[in-house]
C-alpha cells in the first residue's frame, strides 16, 4: 500500500507541474496539496508497518523469556 500512495504522489506532482506550465495555478495548487497528502499517507503506512513489526518482535521476545523461566 505504501508504494501505491507513493505512485499517486509522484503522478500528482507531475500533473501539478503540467498545470503550472499551462498557467492554471489554482488547479496546480490543489493537485500539489493532494500529492503532499498522498506522500504523508505513504510515510504513515511505512511507520505503522515498522511499529507493528517491532511490537510483534517484542511480544515474541517476551514470550520466549517467560517460557525460559
pLDDT digits (tens, 9 = 90+) for 14-68: 999 999 999 999 999 999 999 999 999 999 999 998 888 888 777 666 666 666 6
Q: Is the pLDDT of residue 69 over 90?
A: no
Q: What is the pLDDT of residue 68?
A: 60
DSSP 51: H
Give me the count of residues in the chain.
69
* Domain chopping of the chain, boundaries: 2-68
Question: 44: closest CA among 14, 4, 13?
Answer: 4
Cβ atoms 42, 57 nearer than 8 A: no
Phi, psi of 24 (to 5 degrees): -110, 80
Q: What is the pLDDT of residue 57?
A: 79
Q: Quote the pTM value.
A: 0.78
Cβ atoms 38, 9 nearer than 8 A: yes
Tell me the chain's radius of gyration from C-alpha atoms: 20
Amino acid at each position: 500500500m505504501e508504494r501505491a500512495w507513493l505512485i499517486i504522489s509522484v503522478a500528482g506532482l507531475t500533473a501539478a507541474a503540467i498545470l503550472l506550465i499551462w498557467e492554471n495555478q489554482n488547479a496546480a495548487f490543489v493537485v500539489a496539496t493532494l500529492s503532499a497528502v498522498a506522500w504523508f499517507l505513504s510515510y504513515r503506512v511505512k511507520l505503522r508497518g515498522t511499529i507493528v513489526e517491532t511490537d510483534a518482535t517484542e511480544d515474541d521476545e517476551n514470550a520466549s523469556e517467560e517460557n525460559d523461566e
